[in-house]
Amino acid sequence: MTLATVPLVFVLAGLALYIILAGADFGAALWQVSAPPTPEGRRLRDFAHHVMAPVWEANHVWLIFVLTVTWTAYPAAFGSIASTLSVPLLLAALGIVVRGAAYAVSAGTSGVRGTRDVDRVSAIASVLTPFALGACLGGIASGRVPYGNAQGDLLTSWVNPTSLLLGALAVAISAHLAAVYLCDDAARRGADDLIAPYRRRALGAGVVAGALAVGGLVVVRADAAPLYDGLTADGGLAAVVVSGTAGAAALALVARERFAAARRWPSGRSSRAGRSRSRPSSCRG
Amino acid sequence: MMSMVIAQALGPVEQEHLLQARHMQALSFAVHIPLVCFGIAFPVMVLAMEGLGRRTGDPLYTTIARRWSRIMIALFAVGVITGTVLSFEMGVLWPNFTATFGGVFGLGFAIEGFSFFLEAIFIGIYVYGWDRLPPRLHLLSGIPIVLTGFLGSWMVISVNAWMNHPGGFRLDAAGRVVDVHPWRALFANSYLWHEVIHMYVAAYLVTGFVVAGAYAAARLRGRWTRTLLATLGLLVLYLGVRRRRLPSSRMFWVALVAAGPLACVALVAGWVTTEVGRQPWVVFGVMRTEAAVTGAGVVPVGYGVLCVVYLAVAAGTFWILRRLARVPVEVTTA
């Protein structure tokens, strides 16, 4: 490792934390809005809100950390990325604004009608942000962000097979992480009736995320050959193997209702996601 | 000084919507800065109330502190949102600025990010810890909020002072930024101290007048409670009127109501003076704003969307504050 790559380690650590912490929050919003309009559905919604509300604003600190370290250590790369990918970055910011506003509003609406509309809006935002950020990573990883001020295509730099794949994967991982956390929290706080529904959601989203990750390799191979080569050799291959093993282990633990242990496994998995995705940016440097 | 032409890190740029990009940035700052004032001054006021409650044993002060701490966290949450938008805009709107000078001023934002992180943690501990922490520890947990609120905004102002009076680097023969000394750039700057002091005084004025104005408006509407009386008494003392009794003339109360929005206008006008006064430079005498802007054509759409979203956030914030003000907080003895 050279001195020039040291800040990259911090960026990746921050990115992994952001994916794990904020991802779980965005995923929780997804489960809030998709909860059925039944008493059980209401309990699921309220519980997700109750668990996430005290921590959400601390999560975005990691994104700000990633942004500031990147523009301090790699200013030219940051400027190139931010200008070419300005559309998805603005969409991601929009999602964060709406999600945050929904939390702020619900601070004044505890137990009031209208909470459901707030949830609905914040869920749309919660799909938007992880998807847009995943699409940005896809654009960078597939080599669609050239050096310079908005020198890449404003649309195809983030609407392309790799970006769509990583966007969808980011949403699925968020949903899976959130459901695993919520299972564990439901078990800890004695909300036993919520464990089974969250467990179903954790398994479903985990299977979808796994299928996207494995099936996505085909997409990446066709769309971004250098990325595929990086993922199937040496360190990249090791990361893919660790990721697959950790993901399968997490699913097995959730299936056996060992939530606290499962909660640790997807973490390893997400940091893998951060690592493999940002690999090309280290190639660029 | 540096008089040669700067080499833009990302190359030259054409942007027909420069004015919209500047407006979009200005809107984002104008929305964020009143919240920053609350971030600086409000924790001090909340802690003062809690401290008075502990010293006098009057539960009224504690009740006010509890109510204000909920407003504090709601405003902090809105400030996180508007602050996140600003950090995106630094790259999305001004990529050549960050690309050329990120290594010079980035340190300030890195420290700001760190202090913001601590602030988020302690504000959570403080607000959610009212009934969970021993009273003394609870009061102590508020002190890091005050310190980090101070540190974070100090760092951002150090970057602004550097933009107004750049130093800590050199341009080589090709106009590239070399010989970078971030600490010197940010903290050995003669513009830093008057900007910091100016901003902190402004923050206390804005927060004090906005809070006083809100209570004065309630009084004029006839919602006259003991909470109100105690708060106003303290606030008016705080504003420098050293009388025990509050003035009774209606004009005084009307003036106090007007003082809140007017203080915000003065604050934003001050920043307009600072920012527009530096034009056409983004880094005074070194880089022009038109050289810093993005080459992407998304500016007008982004600006439009931001206007709509901020109108909605403003309406939502107003609504929350009204609700928080109405919900009766039972007088506690803690």
Q: Cα–chain-centroid distance for residue A26?
A: 8
Q: Which of B74, B95, B124 sits opposite A79 (nearest CB)?
A: B95
Provide φ and ψ at B247, rounded to 5°.
-60, 150
Partners of residue B171 on adjacent β-strands: B177
- Is A83's Cβ below 8 Å from some Cβ in B? yes
Q: Verify whether the Cβ–Cβ distance B106 to A72 is below 8 Å.
A: yes
Give the residues across from B170 on adjacent strands. Answer: B178
Half-sphere exposure of B44 (CA within 13 A, CB side): 17
From A68, which residue of chain B is nearest by alpha-carbon distance? B110
Instruction: Round to whole Å and give the CA distance between A128 and A22.
Output: 13
Interface test with A, best of B35, B69, B80, B130 (most A CBs within 10 A): B80
What is residue B288's predicted lDDT score, i.e. its pLDDT? Answer: 92
Per-residue pLDDT of chain B (334 residues; tens, 9 = 90+): 444 577 777 877 888 889 999 999 999 999 999 999 999 999 999 999 999 889 988 888 888 899 889 889 888 888 888 888 998 898 899 999 999 998 899 889 888 888 888 898 899 899 888 888 898 999 999 999 999 999 999 999 999 999 999 999 999 888 888 899 999 999 999 999 999 999 999 999 999 889 888 888 888 877 666 566 566 656 655 555 555 566 778 888 888 889 889 999 999 999 999 999 999 999 999 999 999 999 888 889 999 999 998 898 788 777 777 776 666 555 554 4
Contacts of B314 in chain A (CB under 8 A): none
For residue B87, list chain A residues with Cβ-Cβ distance below 8 A.
Answer: 64, 67-68
Chain-chain contact of B91 with A97 (C-beta, under 8 angstroms): no
Pairing label, strands B287-288, B177-178: unpaired
Q: How far apart are CA B312 and CA B73, in angstroms?
A: 19
Q: At what angle do helices B192-220 and B18-56 cross, to 10 degrees?
A: 70
CB contact under 8 A, B112 and A68: yes
Instruction: Report CA B133 to chain centroid distance, whole Å.
Output: 29
Comparing CB atoms, the residue among B70, B81, B114 nearest residue A96 is B81
The whole-number pLDDT of residue B77 equals 82
pLDDT, residue A52, reads 75
Measure in Å the smallest separation between the Cα of A38 and chain B Cα atoms: 27
Q: Which amino acid is at B7?
A: A
Helices (H), chain B: 18-56, 59-92, 95-128, 135-164, 182-187, 192-220, 226-238, 250-278, 289-292, 299-326
Residues 6+ apart with CB under 8 A from B287: B6, B8, B96, B97, B100, B101, B281
- What CA–CA distance (Å, rounded) separates B65 from A44? 33
Residue A140: list chain B partners with CB under 8 A: none
A93 touches chain B (CB under 8 A): yes
Residues of B whose CB is below 8 A from A113 = none
Query: Which pLDDT does position B303 carry in this prediction?
Result: 92
- Cβ of B80 within 8 Å of Cβ of A150? The answer is no
**Residue of A81, A83, A133 to mutate for B, most B C-beta atoms under 10 A:** A83
Q: Is A255 on the interface with B (CB under 8 A)?
A: no
Instruction: Give the closest-approach CA distance of B128 to chain A in angstroms.
Output: 8
Chain CA centroid to CA B272, Å: 15
Of A63, A104, A151, the CB nearest to B316: A104
State the Cα–Cα distance between residues A269 and B142, nearest whole angstrom.
Answer: 36
Distance of CA B304 to the CA centre of its chain: 23
Model pLDDT, residue A265 = 59
Give phi and psi for B281, each to the nearest 5: -100, 145
A158 vs A142: CA distance, rounded Å: 10
Residue ranges in chain A modelled with pLDDT below 70: 1, 53-58, 106-117, 260-261, 263-285
